[in-house]
Amino acid sequence: MKIVILASGAGSLAQAIFDSVSAGELSVEIIGVISDQPAAPVLDRAVQLGIKTFVVPMKPERLQWDRDLFAVAQSLNPDLLVSAGFMRILAPDFVRRFRIINSHPALLPNFPGAHAVRDALKAGVTRTGTTMHWVDEGVDTGEVIAQVAVDILPSDTEESLHERIKIQERGLIVATIRTLIPIYSQSLESEK
C-alpha cells in the first residue's frame, strides 16, 4: 500500500509512521510527505529518511491552492492519504477523489475543529482522547475508525493534556494504518 502523509507541523505523528515502517512493523511504502508550511520540521524528518517532500503553501486565492494540492496528490497516486496534523480543510473535490484518514485529538463527535484540546478542558469533561476517522466534506465529521480515551487530570493544562493525547495518537495512527492494509491489498488485487 502506497501512502502519502499530509502534515503541517513538527511531525511527531509522521515520525511514528516512519519509525514503524523502518522497524518493519508497518508494511507500507511512504511515497511522499506534503506540507502547507515550507518551514515545517516534518519536512526535515522526511528528507533525512529519503522520503520525497512537497510544499504547497497557502495562496491568497484558495481555489488555486486547492488545485495545486490536488495536482501534487494526483501525481503521486497514493492508495491512502494520511492526515497527520495537517491543519487545513480539504476541498470537496479532493476528499471525493482520495481515500483520506485523519487523526484528531478528541473523542469525536465531541470537540471537532482546530481547538479540540482547549475545548475539552473548557467544557469541564473528565475524559477526552484521540480519534482516527475517514475524511469527508465536513470538519471532523467523517466515519470514526478507532478511538482511544484519555482521562483529564485536575492538574492538566492544554499543553500537558495535548502531550498525553499525542502519545496515544501516535500508537493509534500506526494501528489504524495497519488495519487498513489487508483491505487495500484485497481491493488492489481485485482491480488487476
104, 115, 133, 162: the catalytic one is 104
Q: Residues 129, 168: contact at Cβ < 8 Å?
A: yes
Q: Residues 117, 106: contact at Cβ < 8 Å?
A: yes
What structural domains and CATH numbers belong to the chain? 2-105+134-149+169-191 (3.40.50.170)
Q: Which residue has the cell 516512519?
A: 18
Q: What is the mean pLDDT of residues 87-93?
A: 95
Instruction: Give the pLDDT confidence score for residue 190 in this predicted structure.
Output: 62
Q: State yes or no: pLDDT of 81 exceeds 80.
A: yes
What one-character-per-residue DSSP string does 126-142 give? SEEEEEEEE--SSSS-S
Q: How many angstroms separate the CA atoms of 108 and 47, rounded? A: 33
Q: State yes or no: pLDDT of 187 exceeds 70.
A: no
Fill in the amino acid letter for 183: I
6, β-bridge pairs: 34, 83
Instruction: Give the pLDDT confidence score for residue 128 in this predicted structure.
Output: 98
Q: How many angstroms separate the CA atoms of 113 and 15, rounded? A: 23
104 is catalytic: yes
Per-residue model confidence as pLDDT tens digits over 133-161: 999 999 999 999 999 999 999 999 999 99
Q: State yes or no: pLDDT of 184 exceeds 80.
A: no
